[in-house]
Amino acid sequence: MNEFRRTLTAFKEWRQKGATIPVAIQLALSGRPAISGGVSTGFINDLLHSLDFADGACTIPPAVYTAGTTNGSSVDLVNSDGPCFAIVMVGAVVGASTLDFKVQESAVTGSGFADVVPSTSIVQVTTSSHVRIINFKRTLRFVRGVQVVAATSVAAAGHIFGLKKSQ
């Protein structure tokens, strides 16, 4: 009887989050908890086949970057739809160096880049060995990472991915 109550409670929670009746039944029976952000923030059960690993997804290649701004290469997300994300990996941060990273978008590959709105930046990195993830929604086809290193140098890399368009 307790299992039935738990399943019924889960079904009700999924329905309140916006799931259709068939989806709510399936998720309630699977034992997965309801998602705080609603169904649209749902599960990715097969990450490898759900992501658009666009050519040039490595917008900022792994390297040691000295003080200054680095505009990453553009990433074509024509085959992706919905939410995107950037992964920023930081290795050694020398001395009092800092790293800032943000995402920009453009309708064309080589120019016209502007910051994605709302703002898509990481919390400034001041120490070694960090990974930061930025979730964002783009409105234009091409995106790139922009990083700013202050002081001496930082070892870092930035990658941008999107979810594949539904078939």
92-106 pLDDT, tens digit per residue, is 999 999 999 999 999
Count of residues in the chain? 167
Per-residue model confidence (pLDDT) at position 82: 76
Integer Cα distance of 39 and 17 in angstroms: 6
Residues 70-87 have a mean pLDDT of: 88
Range ranked top by mean pLDDT from 24-28, 63-67, 117-121, 131-135:
63-67
Q: Which burial class, exposed, middle or buried, applies to 88 when counting CB atoms under 10 A from its CB (0-12, 13-18, 19+)?
A: buried
Check residues 32 and 143 and name the one with the higher pLDDT.
143
Contact 78, 164 (CB under 8 A): no
pLDDT above 70: percentage of residues in the chain: 81
Q: Where in the chain is the domain with CATH 2.60.120.1110?
A: 49-164
To the question of domain 49-164 being in CATH 2.60.120.1110, the answer is yes
Per-residue model confidence (pLDDT) at position 39: 45
pLDDT above 90: percentage of residues in the chain: 41
Give 54-57 contacts, CB < 8 A, sequence gap 24+: 54/79, 54/80, 54/160, 54/161, 54/162, 57/159, 57/160, 57/161
